[in-house]
Amino acid sequence: MSGRGQAWAKLPQIAAGLQADRMLGREVANVISRRLCALTERAAMIAEQRMRQSGQGPAPCAYALTVLGSAGRGESLLAMDQDNALVFDKGDPGGTEDRWFESLGTHVADILHEAGVPYFKGGVMARNAAWRGSVATWRERVRDWVTRSNPDDLLSVDIFFDLRGVHGELGMANALWEDAFDIAKGRADFAKLLAETAGKSERGLNWFGGFKTDQGRIDLKKAGLFGTVSAARALAIRHNVRERSTPARLMGVKALGIGAESDLDALCDAQEVFLDLILAQQIADISAGRPADNTVVVKSLSARDRERLRAALQAVAPLEDLTRDLLF
């Protein structure tokens, strides 16, 4: 994995070059996501090789390794962790097949961590039983999610609907994604619960229209990006818009004639602004030896970017009410 790991370490430089060429943050995020998908695929190939060499043999049945969350949506930036899942053709939880895939998932997680993509603290990784299973197990799991009545029971479930296959039988992964939309179709209560599980965004502006900062920085994921992504996903599930990226989901809802076009356009524009500014700050922070996160130094923004940010934060301020209206 050393070659891939070294290439991954150069990703901030690549992102900086693309941004210098005036590529939008949204477009750079798509490039980063593709690199992450390729890295995950390579990790799976190395994991398979290690298992064969250790005497565990080849995969016991057809399977697909998938990524979830921002990588599945094509919206990854430079501060990321692992989100992956496994679907295989047959086998019961704890059975022979499942144990083989548990080992595969563990290898994949370790390889990615070593390459610079850290373990997901929330546990959404194929090495954990809740994030792998046969096609039948996954269908039963999704049906169980859809019938839950408590948002606390659905933590991390939302990113499953961003699922994208990266290795193995990709058709199996896409079929599972389609099945999930089929099962959730018409279940407004489920979409509503997912929206509630995401929680409220933090206000990015104070009552006087100024930016709310902590030590000069504003967390744009908490102040708007996460809420926009979560709302778009819930709306896509509710209205059966089978898209993965946030803009495609919002525009899919718009195409159905649901809600005011101006509101959906404003949310799409806001997401673009958040990605632009977060990415630029991440590149600057990494260059300065600071770990990348989702906060932005307000004083470093140009007058134009401050106005763009203010407009974006105003667009997401009524997000909770807007989402509720668009869901029903």
pLDDT of residue 7: 60
pLDDT of residue 105: 98
pLDDT of residue 198: 85
- In the chain, what are the domain boundaries? 2-184, 197-327
Instruction: Say if 2-184 and 197-327 have the same CATH topology.
Output: no
Q: Where on the phi/psi map is residue 58: left (φ > 0), alpha (ψ -120 to 50), or beta?
A: beta
pLDDT of residue 153: 85
pLDDT of residue 240: 97
Q: Which CATH number fits domain 197-327: 1.10.10, 2.60.40, 1.20.120, 1.20.140?
A: 1.20.120
C-alpha dist (Å) from residue 13 to 32, 56, 79, 201, 280: 11, 39, 14, 31, 12
Give the span between the Cα atoms of 68 and 272, in whole angstroms: 20
Rg of the chain over CA atoms, in angstroms?
20
In CATH, the architecture of 2-184 is 2-Layer Sandwich (3.30)
Taking the complete model, does pTM exceed 0.85, yes or no?
Answer: yes
pLDDT of residue 136: 97
Q: What is the pLDDT along the chain (328 residues), one digit of tens a residue?
A: 555 556 677 899 999 999 999 999 999 999 999 999 999 999 999 999 999 999 999 999 999 999 999 999 999 999 988 999 999 999 999 999 999 999 999 999 999 999 999 999 889 999 999 999 999 999 999 999 999 888 888 989 999 999 999 999 999 999 999 999 999 999 999 999 999 988 888 999 998 889 999 999 999 999 999 999 999 999 999 999 999 999 999 999 999 999 899 999 999 999 999 999 999 999 999 999 999 999 999 999 999 999 999 999 999 999 999 999 999 8
